[in-house]
Amino acid sequence: MIIGKPSDIRSSEITPRSVYLRRREFIGKSLIASAGVSLSAVTVASEQLKSLDYRKADFKNKEGFYTNEALAPYKDIKRFNNFYEFGSDKGDPEKHAQNLTVDPWSLTVEGEVEKPGVYHLEDILKPVNIEERIYRLRCVEAWSMVIPWQGFPLADLIERFQPSSKAKYIQFETLHRPEEMPGQRARTSTIDWPYVEGLRMDEAMNPLSLIAVGLYGKELPKQNGAPLRLVIPWKYGFKSIKSIVKIRFLEKMPMTTWVSLAASEYGFYANVNPQVNHPRWSQGSERRLPSNFFSPNRIPTKPFNGYAEQVSHLYAGMDLKKYY
C-alpha cells in the first residue's frame, strides 16, 4: 500500500470541538433539510430524505459512540484518502471523484437471506434514523483521524433482509465503473476489480458497525465513499469499504481484495493491534492527523483502536496474531 505524506495544516484551520458541538442543535434541525437539498441532488429524492428523523444523541451515555479527542479538519478528511478506484495518491480521490455518478444508486442483496433483491437507495434510507457517531479511524499505514460521521447501524439494515441461519459472513462490494473511476482502468493497478471486503456476522451486528451517509453534518463526499460506506472503527480503515453496491450473505468466509493481494500483510480480520506489526512497519504508534514534519503528532496505538470494551468479546479464545 502507498504511504502518503499529509498536507501541512495550520492549527487555525481546525474546527474547534466546542464550536462543532454547538452546531449539533443546528444540525439536528437542519440535517433533514440539508439532506433533502444536497443529498437528493446526487442520491435520492428530497421528499424521502426529508422523512428521515435525525436523532440527537447523548453521546456520553452511549459506550464507544463518542470520543472527545480533537476532530480532524473537514478539508483534511476530504483531501487525504485511500480510494484506489480513483488512484493511488492520497489526493487522487478528491481530484477524480467529482465525476462519479451517485444518483441513481441501488444496492443488490443476495445469498443466504429471505429478502434478496435490488433495493433503490431511497427505499433503504426512507425508514432509517440518522445518528451521529464520533469515531477514531486508524489506517493500516499507521496514520489516524477522528471523524464525526452521520449514518445508521449496519445491524438495522441487515435485519431488514432477514438473513437465514446459514449466513455466517457478509461480503461487501464497491462500485465497478472504470469510465468514471480512473484507478480501475489504470494499467499499473494490481487489484482485481471490483473491490470486496467482508465481516463475520457477529462483527457486522455489533452496535459500533455503521453505514455512513454523511460526515460533519454534510452529505458524504464522493471521495469518502458516497452514498453508502461502511465504518468499522475497531478495524484498520481498509475494512470500511466505500460506495457499496452489493451485499452477499454467505455460509463460508469470503475472499477479500487485500487478502487475495497480500494475505501475509492484510488479514481478513484486520483488527487494530499494536502487538502485531505490519511486515514493513510498526503498528505500535500512529500519526494522528493533522500533523506535519515539525509537529508529527505521534500517539500510541490502542488495541482494537480503543474499542476493546465493546468488541474484544467477539474474539475470545482466538489467537489474534494468527487471525490478524
Q: What confidence tens digit (pLDDT) does each residue in 47-97 have? A: 433 444 544 444 444 668 999 999 999 999 999 999 999 999 999 999 999
Outline where the chain has alpha helix (H): 17-34, 40-42, 46-49, 74-79, 92-96, 121-125, 154-161, 201-204, 257-262, 308-311
Going along the chain from its start, the domains and CATH numbers come out as: 12-54+73-132+148-265 (3.90.420.10)
Q: 7 pLDDT exceeds 60?
A: no
Q: How far apart are CA 126 and CA 184, in angstroms?
A: 32
| Coil, strand or helix at 223 | helix
Query: Which residue has better confidence, 296 or 226?
Result: 226
Average pLDDT of the chain, as a whole number: 86
Could you identify the residue written with the cell 464525526?
Answer: 148
The rounded percent of the chain whose pLDDT value lies above 90 is 77
List for the chain the helix, strand, coil content (%; round to 5): 30, 20, 50
Q: Per-residue pLDDT tens for 161-209?
A: 999 999 999 999 999 999 999 999 999 999 999 999 999 999 999 999 9
The one-letter amino acid at 86 = F
The rounded percent of the chain whose pLDDT value lies above 70 is 81
Q: How far apart are CA 308 and CA 148, in angstroms?
A: 20
Q: How far apart are CA 252 and CA 161, in angstroms?
A: 18
Residue 274: asked if its preceding bond is cis (omega within 30°), the reply is: no
8-state DSSP, 179 = T
Other beta carbons less than 10 A from residue 46's beta carbon: 17
Please give the model's pTM, rounded to 2 decimal places: 0.85
Residues 6+ positions from 127 with CB-CB distance below 8 Å: none
Provide the pLDDT for residue 221.
97
Cell numbers at 98, concatenated: 467529482
Provide the pLDDT for residue 224.
98
Handedness of CA 63, 64, 67, 72 (dihedral sign): negative
Q: Which helix (H) or strand (E) holds 212?
A: strand 210-215
Q: How far apart are CA 55 and CA 193, in angstroms?
A: 37
Tell me the average pLDDT across 266-279.
Answer: 97
Q: How far apart are CA 123 and CA 77, in angstroms?
A: 28
Q: How far apart are CA 238 and CA 301, in angstroms?
A: 17
Q: Per-residue pLDDT tens for 162-174?
A: 999 999 999 999 9
